Structure 1
């Protein structure tokens, strides 16, 4: 038996690690597709089933490449996964644009339905940006577990685990340096949730320009949605 964590890491090289489970990302993607599918018709960019069907078609080969765990990556895999996230994000931002127009229209009559739709768009916003952070940071989910740490691209985010090596024993044992910790989808969804509720980074800091840009877009859209919903709810209640 190895006598230390360092010895355990030496005996089990990083490239032999099990990849991240496929199921959470599939579930998050399907939830985002379903939220879009049930939006009011006036917020849709195309006939109701066109975009969800296209997104599902893009999802199928991604599952086929890595059906259980994310351990294989090709250029086609990266293009498909990023295209899927971009498509979900673009359609949601388009729906938000129409929602803003509808909520500020003086003659709109289905205010309550649009308030529900704004919640759907806000939840989709959290999911899609969480997926975007997950797909981009350090080369994506496959690279984070299968590529040696010294060969990874520069990080887009700095997690608290990346700085915990000097903390007390029970904290440092789970740090990136000691345990070779890597973020998973849940960590990026947490970043997305806190950014959408606090409208700013909390314990995870963006490092790259693209991470700062994405977090800025998410914060602005979340703030805009919240302000419009509050204003519209007040007008409905009165």
Structure 2
């Protein structure tokens, strides 16, 4: 495969390959950082009974891992390594573990009938856990698709794990389009609401497995929380 940078010139008569298949500038750091910070804020506002004790522990671990990632790539994600990749995946898994604990505690309380009797509070708590779940899977999709953001910037892999519309119809996309964190968050959010792929198709088996798991978790959370809230209001 022939790679060029954003500033390189294509030989006369040769069509420029799509940006997502070329060596390009790394993705800006701010979007994924903002998502993690938002998750930390949500975790700190959850009821203490739904969080891993002490309540500050998991947010502190997550912020420490985030700072390590920022130190390695402060502005744009361009330099990758095994340690950097492990740290990024570790961050997503730590957030996932903390949210899974919260979800299990919430579901157990709903089944036993010990969870809050205030419908508004229950919906807010369930919504916070659901939104955190969407961010977690967005991070996983973003970290795993074609080797992660650093590998995508280097154009290391041709075959995508997720097929975006712009990849199928490059003539309808800007010339330098390539997937960024927001695109993966959109994928995660729509999968959480529709419980199935929408306009982004999973290609590899691991991508299908992750989307299947996300749909199952989202469906379980929504059904139990909404059913309990309706029962309280009724």
Aligning the two structures, in what range does the TM-score lie when normalised by the shorter sequence? 0.7 to 0.9
Among 227, 232, 236, the alignment partner of 2:228 is: 232
Asked if structure 2 preserves the Cα contact closer than 8 Å seen for 1:21 and 1:69, the reply is yes
2: CA distance between counterparts of 1:139 and 1:229?
36
Among 165, 182, 185, the alignment partner of 2:181 is: 185
2: CA distance between counterparts of 1:5 and 1:115?
59
Local SS of the residue matching 1:55: helix
1: CA distance between counterparts of 2:184 and 2:66?
20
The equivalent residue for 1:83 is 90
Which structure dedicates a bigger proportion of its chain to helix?
A: 1
Note if 1:54 corresponds to 2:53: no
Local SS of the residue matching 1:46: coil
Asked if structure 2 preserves the Cα contact closer than 8 Å seen for 1:19 and 1:69, the reply is yes
Query: What value does the CA root-mean-square deviation take over the aligned residues?
Result: 2.4
The structure-2 alpha-carbon separation of the partners of 1:137 and 1:108, relative to structure 1 and needing over 3 Å to count, comes to closer
Asked if structure 1 preserves the Cα contact closer than 8 Å seen for 2:25 and 2:78, the reply is yes
Asked if structure 2 preserves the Cα contact closer than 8 Å seen for 1:126 and 1:196, the reply is yes
Local SS of the residue matching 1:98: helix
Among 126, 138, 146, the alignment partner of 1:118 is: 126
With the length of structure 2 as denominator, give the TM-score of the two structures. Answer: 0.87
Task: Measure how far apart 1:222 and its partner are.
Answer: 0.9
Structure 1 residues 208-217 or 130-139, which shifts more?
A: 208-217
The equivalent residue for 1:99 is 106
Any stretches of 5+ residues in structure 1 without a counterpart?
Answer: 166-171
1: CA distance between counterparts of 2:210 and 2:16?
37
Q: Deviations over 1:89-144 (max 9, x none)?
A: 11111211111111122344444433321110011011111111001000111111
Any stretches of 5+ residues in structure 2 without a counterpart?
Answer: 1-8
Note if 1:161 corresponds to 2:166: yes
